[in-house]
């Protein structure tokens, strides 16, 4: 198929119904060709029936300067997360109130305290995170990058995101937009993430040992993980996939605290499950988590890095003088990181928290109320903020949340492609995440890189929600 446009403008393309319908078919065959696939919700554990991963038809324009800003700050975020994980006093101070009202965070913190008491056995630290942003247009015309959150646990979609550029490039080429197709840059997230895992495995020092992916029961996005697993084979590194229940049943520690699961030594535990309360279906899951944390295996993330990614820590970092604690005598780095912060506000008991409550109740549409949870679908918006805060405004229960300015991203129009969904032109909002990968041994940072990116786009009618939740779809930035 060869389609040429008389005028290459994006708006004209979006309004060309005949061309759009042809490009949709191009997208639907191009995605599988490039391995851009997911399992079906109806059969989440079967790879015999799959479909294309949900995507935008066209890539989303964004300023190149904003893209580069986020990419350049990522290694500093890696360093920040790692430094936080090494300061138990800071974590204790930051989460002291939260753990009195949030049972899940409290349980994680109890494991953290146990590890500190027993002593950290493993000096190798592996971090795979993703810092997510939106960009908004200010009154002076300047485009401002604002961080939504940093995910230190199971930062997903690096595998499939690596396949996205080729899909969108092909669509644009077929549409006759050759120049635009060249503005989509390569995305090597899967290679970079696997390289960090491989480095941690190598430093562990046992060629017989495996990388264990700690996974959930239903695996819709297993192909995303398999891409990284396949990359590990380039270093001849074998991997196994186990659930919490499997580790409880067949896991053990030897006298040197080496972790064995099904009689196989585990060098690296890569958690892709365990960030939500419902992931721990019984006490067996918690006992398995504690066993892994107390082992010699490299954990990704370890328990302190998990806690470093909580929303409360994000809010505390925004307070004056706190970043300087982690980057002493490095004002340029502090400025780079702080420039990405949106407004963040405490809900602790006291005058400052009372002020936050009053502000949120007066103008709820300006804010997002965030619990200490990862994954899409947890945040609270608009009038729901009034309902939730109205119930806990005078109670310590409000300390389970933080308040954040609602970012006002630059809107675009696009077609969101999902299996079985009608085709329609949508008013869309996008967010861009950058994958960070670091490996530290003792005091030496062996690797610290920004290894790739992930763009997600959703219809503006949805306030919150992720890809697996069926709200957002995968996208690519078209830099200008």
Query: What mean pLDDT value characterizes the chain?
Result: 94
pLDDT at 330: 98
Mean pLDDT in residue range 244-249: 98
pLDDT score for 258? 98
- CATH superfamily label, 343-406: Glutathione synthase lid domain (3.30.1490.50)
Q: Three-class SS of residue 446? A: strand
Please give the residue that has the higher pLDDT: either 139 or 327.
Answer: 327
> pLDDT at residue 269 above 90?
yes
- Confidence class of residue 469 from pLDDT cuts 50, 70 and 90? low
Q: What is the DSSP string of 311-348?
A: HHHHHHHTSTTHHHHHSTT-HHHHHHHHTTPPPEE---
Query: What is the pTM assigned to this prediction?
Result: 0.95
Q: How confident is the model at residue 137 (pLDDT cuts 50, 70, 90)?
A: confident
Q: What are the extents of the domains in the chain? A: 10-342+407-479, 343-406
Q: What is the pLDDT of residue 211?
A: 98
User: Distance between the two ends of the chain, CA-based, in angstroms?
Assistant: 28
Q: Is the pLDDT assigned to residue 249 strictly greater than 80?
A: yes
CA gap 376, 148 in Å, rounded: 12
- On the question of pLDDT at 116 being above 70, the answer is yes
Tell me, what's the pLDDT at 468? 64
Structure letter (DSSP) for residue 235: G
Q: For residues 82 and 76, what is the distance between their CA atoms, to the nearest angstrom?
A: 10
What does the pLDDT read at residue 2? 38
Measured CA to CA, the distance from residue 232 to residue 63 in angstroms comes to 34
User: Residue 41 — pLDDT band, cuts 50, 70, 90?
Assistant: confident
Mean pLDDT of 13-29: 96
Residue 350 region, left (φ>0) first, then alpha (ψ -120 to 50), else beta? left
Side-chain-facing half-sphere of 287: CA atoms under 13 Å:
12
Distances in whole angstroms, Cα of residue 472 to Cα of each of 23, 365, 429:
20, 21, 9
CB 130, CB 77: distance < 8 Å? no
Whether the predicted pLDDT of 304 surpasses 50: yes
Whether residue 301 is preceded by a cis peptide bond, meaning omega within 30 degrees of 0, is: yes
> Exposed, middle or buried: residue 471 (CB in 10 Å: 0-12, 13-18, 19+)?
buried
pLDDT of residue 7: 36
pLDDT score of 8 more than 60? no
Q: How far apart are CA 75 and CA 434, in angstroms?
A: 10
Query: How far from chain centre, in Å, is Cα 84?
Result: 18
Q: Which of 344, 256, 358 lies closest to 297, judged by CA?
A: 256
What are 172-188's pLDDT values in tens digits?
999 999 999 999 999 99
Q: Which residues have a Cβ under 8 Å from the Cβ of 139 and sit 6 or more positions away?
A: none
> What CA–CA distance (Å, rounded) separates 147 from 98?
22
Give the residue-averaged pLDDT of 324-334.
Answer: 98
Quickly state the pLDDT bin for 33 (edges 50, 70, 90): very high
From residue 479, how far is each of 66, 67, 125, 177, 267 by CA, in Å?
9, 8, 34, 14, 40
Report the pLDDT averaged over residues 450-460: 96
Confidence bin at 377 (pLDDT 50/70/90): confident
- Split at pLDDT 50, 70, 90, the class of 219 is confident
Tokens linked to 249: 């049943």
Q: What is the mean pLDDT of residues 214-221?
A: 89
Average pLDDT of the segment spanning 317-327 = 98
């Amino acid at each position: 198929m060869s389609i040429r446009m008389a005028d290459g403008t994006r708006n004209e393309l979006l309004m060309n119904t005949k061309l759009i319908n042809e490009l949709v078919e191009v997208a639907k065959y191009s995605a599988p060709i490039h391995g851009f696939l997911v399992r079906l919700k109806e059969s989440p554990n079967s790879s015999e029936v799959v479909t294309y991963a949900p995507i935008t038809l066209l890539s989303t324009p964004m300023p190149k300067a904003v893209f580069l800003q986020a990419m350049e700050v990522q290694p500093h975020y890696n360093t920040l997360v790692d430094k936080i994980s090494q300061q138990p006093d800071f974590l204790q101070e930051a989460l002291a109130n939260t753990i009195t009202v949030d049972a899940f965070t409290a349980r994680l913190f109890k494991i953290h305290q146990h590890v500190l008491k027993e002593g950290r056995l493993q000096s190798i630290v592996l971090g795979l995170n993703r810092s997510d942003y939106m960009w908004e247009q200010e009154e002076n015309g300047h485009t401002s990058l604002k961080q939504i959150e940093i995910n230190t646990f199971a930062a997903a979609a690096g595998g499939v995101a690596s396949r996205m550029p080729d899909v969108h490039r092909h669509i644009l080429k077929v549409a006759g937009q050759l120049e635009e197709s060249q503005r989509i840059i390569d995305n090597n997230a899967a290679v970079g993430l696997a390289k960090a895992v491989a480095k941690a495995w190598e430093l562990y020092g046992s060629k017989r040992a495996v990388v264990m992916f700690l996974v959930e029961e239903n695996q819709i996005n297993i192909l995303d993980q398999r891409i990284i697993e396949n990359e590990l084979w380039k270093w001849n590194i074998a991997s196994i996939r186990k659930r919490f229940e499997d580790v409880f049943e067949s896991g053990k520690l030897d006298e040197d605290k080496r972790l064995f699961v099904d009689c196989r030594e585990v060098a690296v535990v890569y958690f892709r499950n365990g960030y939500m309360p419902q992931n721990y279906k019984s006490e067996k899951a918690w006992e398995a988590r504690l066993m892994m944390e107390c082992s010699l295996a490299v954990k990704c993330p370890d328990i302190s890095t998990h806690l470093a990614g909580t929303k409360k820590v994000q809010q505390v970092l925004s307070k004056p003088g706190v970043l300087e604690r982690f980057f002493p005598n490095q004002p340029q780095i502090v400025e780079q990181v702080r420039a990405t912060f949106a407004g963040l506000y405490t809900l602790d008991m006291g005058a400052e928290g009372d002020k936050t409550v009053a502000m949120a109740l007066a103008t709820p549409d300006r804010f997002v109320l965030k619990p200490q949870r990862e994954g899409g679908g947890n945040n609270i918006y608009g009038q729901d903020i009034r309902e939730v805060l109205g119930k806990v405004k005078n109670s310590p229960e409000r300390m389970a949340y933080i308040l954040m300015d609602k970012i006002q991203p630059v809107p675009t129009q696009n077609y969101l492609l999902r299996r079985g969904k009608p085709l329609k032109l949508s008013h869309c909002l996008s967010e861009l995440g950058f994958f960070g990968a670091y490996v530290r041994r003792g005091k030496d940072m062996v690797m610290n890189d920004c290894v790739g990116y992930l763009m997600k786009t959703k219809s503006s009618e949805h306030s919150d929600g992720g890809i697996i939740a069926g709200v957002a779809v995968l996208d690519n930035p078209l830099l200008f």
